[in-house]
Amino acid sequence: MSTCSTVSQELDEPIAGTAATARTWLLLEQPGPWGARALTSSHLNPALGRALEAAAKGTGVRIALIRRPGRHADCGTPAARQVYAAHTDPGNAWLHSATADDPGALLDLDFAALGRGEHQTFDAALGARPHTGGPLALVCTNGKRDRCCALLGRPLAAELAASEVEGVWEVTHLGGHRFSPTLLVLPYGYAYGRAEAHAVKEVLHGVREGRVVVEGCRGSSAWERPGQAAELAVRTTVGEYAADALRVEATSGSAPRWQVTVAHADGRRWSVEVAQGSSLPPRPESCGTSILGSPARMEVRAVHELRATALAG
């Protein structure tokens, strides 16, 4: 069976620089089925879903629904829901957790502060604390958005859960369903595509040690897409895998060409030339459409280390 994900893999479409963009993630447990726009087409009150979307707009916070792996029959309203907030900025990455009897309490949050990486409002409103378990492995299984997410994501989530991998959740749309199964790992916010269980376990092992696995990585949600590609290119070029070591310091230019400055915590800097290309030949970008498209791809053309003298000049 040909799907958008099989076509993407057969054509060897690159995945670096394709992650969703969000400095802060807010995750709300919502069992049961999810529609294509899960915040307003699930068993969550749609009026609340619309209010949350409006509250988060423009703040750098992205809201997603999560549920335990397995069957998703309607079991009624959960007595208490798991809620997570995670900030992905290097040097200030954190993951806090809480439970909420009333999901409407999320409207009491200061979304602008959350987007800046301030967790105090989340802690105060929900009685949240720093997450003490392992990293979260969020597997997109939103089949109503694209069937690949269900066909490939649900078996991956089930396999990881059966292997007793800690922190596995199903999650709503992460973007890039043609790279299914897709995965987001928190707190650092790196996304992965075409994921397999053994690779996910290696990624989570790396996160526990503060490392980033670059194989299969789509990029960090902390950066826009040119920055995602540039940061991964620097990691590969210099062999730097510590999660907090690199940050995207500046991006200049506009599509189809950018100059991205990537900075190391030790003071080193690199200038990375990134160009936007098109993935050819044209193909359906989603199983939900028959329209042929040429997905944008981030192509790193050059990586140059900036010497201190050049910076001073």
Q: What percent of the chain has pLDDT over 90?
A: 67
Say what percent of the chain tops pLDDT 70: 84
Q: Tell me, what's the pLDDT at 57?
A: 96
- Asked if 245 contacts 89 with a C-beta cutoff of 8 angstroms, the reply is no
How many Å apart are CA 237 and CA 219, to the nearest integer?
Answer: 15
Binned at pLDDT 50, 70 and 90, residue 313 comes out as very low
Residue-wise pLDDT for 96-119, tens only, equals 999 999 999 999 999 999 999 999
The residues, any chain, with a CB within 8 Å of residue 47's CB and separated by 6 or more, are none
Between 7-16, 225-234, 256-265, the lowest mean confidence (pLDDT) is in: 7-16
Query: How many Cβ atoms are within 10 Å of 32's Cβ, its own excluded?
Result: 16
Stretch 160-179: mean pLDDT: 86
Residue 34: pLDDT band (50, 70, 90) is confident
Higher pLDDT, 313 or 276: 276
The token pair that represents 137 in the structure block = 């492995």
The larger pLDDT score, comparing residue 158 to residue 302, is at 302
